[in-house]
């Protein structure tokens, strides 16, 4: 199963990175929580749209493909992965796709990163084991 979060929700990118999240937390803990909650909603909307009522029956591996804008500032890929990974996993639990995001349900994640001249997006493929 696959879902796609496409568009620019944070400046000219799909999601903020870990550095932006930490900066918000440092500015105000409530602002950091709000940032996480807002992007969890973006992820939840994509999950509900693309996966309908899908529910994983066992452990899964999540395969992420990140497509960042080719022009502009280059970001450290681990900054991009870290925040998005946590927010998307929490959204999968919130939407009922996963019953939990602990190691018995989430066996692994893989990450690919590319620059695109098209629409920035995050594609997530769920592989059931």
d(CA 129, CA 110): 14
Segment-wise mean pLDDT, segments of 10 residues, the chain, 129 residues? 90 84 90 91 96 94 93 78 94 96 93 91 96
Q: In CATH, what number does 2-128 get? A: 3.30.1330
Domain boundary assignment for the chain = 2-128
pLDDT at position 70 = 81
pLDDT at position 11 = 78
pLDDT at position 41 = 96
pLDDT at position 13 = 76
Which residues of the chain form beta strands (DSSP E)? Answer: 2-6, 60-69, 106-116, 121-128
């Amino acid at each position: 199963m696959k879902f796609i979060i496409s568009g620019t929700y944070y400046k000219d990118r799909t999601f903020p990175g870990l550095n932006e999240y930490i900066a918000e937390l440092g500015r105000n803990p409530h602002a950091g929580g709000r940032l996480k909650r807002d992007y969890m909603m973006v992820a939840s909307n994509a999950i509900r749209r693309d996966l309908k009522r899908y529910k994983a029956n066992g452990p899964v591996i999540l395969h992420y493909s990140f497509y960042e804008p080719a022009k502009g500032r280059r970001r450290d890929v681990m900054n991009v992965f870290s925040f998005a990974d946590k927010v998307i996993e929490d959204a999968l639990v919130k939407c009922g796709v996963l019953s939990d995001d602990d190691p018995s349900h989430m066996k692994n994640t893989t990450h690919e990163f590319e620059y695109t001249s098209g629409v920035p997006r995050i594609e997530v493929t769920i592989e059931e084991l």
